[in-house]
Amino acid sequence: MDIHKILKQLPHRYPFLLVDRVTDLEKGVRIRALKNVTMNEPFFQGHFPYRPVMPGVLMLEALAQAAALLAFDALDTTPDSQSVYYFAGIDGARFKRPVEPGDQLTLEVELLRMKAGIFKFKARARVGDEVAVEAELTCAMRSIA
């Protein structure tokens, strides 16, 4: 899935779109996507000026965006202006390695279960062969009132 298809699926836009490409998608099972980390990312101006490191919460957000793509595909749906996809929980998050400009994050997300608009995922981001972050994510798809 290229960036044009991702833009049709996710409501996020610069500077908050954190998935550049989907390289593998097994319907209702797993997704593998990429986030190219460049020095041009706006968060590097303040995190940290002398040793730029991608904030951990943004690595988790990138994983959640990949998870959303997996969920939308599993449900054969496209998000619309009447629904939103929220974080509902982050369990067991562990940060193993800093992510710096020039790194490429490989986002790997596996769907563990889904029921009534609640999704549970096992997620991991790698730089090369090294795990940068791993967590279990819970997300909820809700109608906007």
Query: How many beta carbons lie within 10 A of that of residue 120, not counting itself?
Result: 18
Task: Round to whole Å and give the CA distance between 97 and 7.
Answer: 29
Task: Round to whole Å and give the CA distance between 120 and 139.
Answer: 7
Catalytically annotated residues:
47
User: In this structure, what token pair is assigned to residue 100?
Assistant: 């710096």
Number of residues that this document lists for the chain:
145
* Cα-based distances in Å from 95 to 115, 116, 131, 137: 29, 30, 8, 14
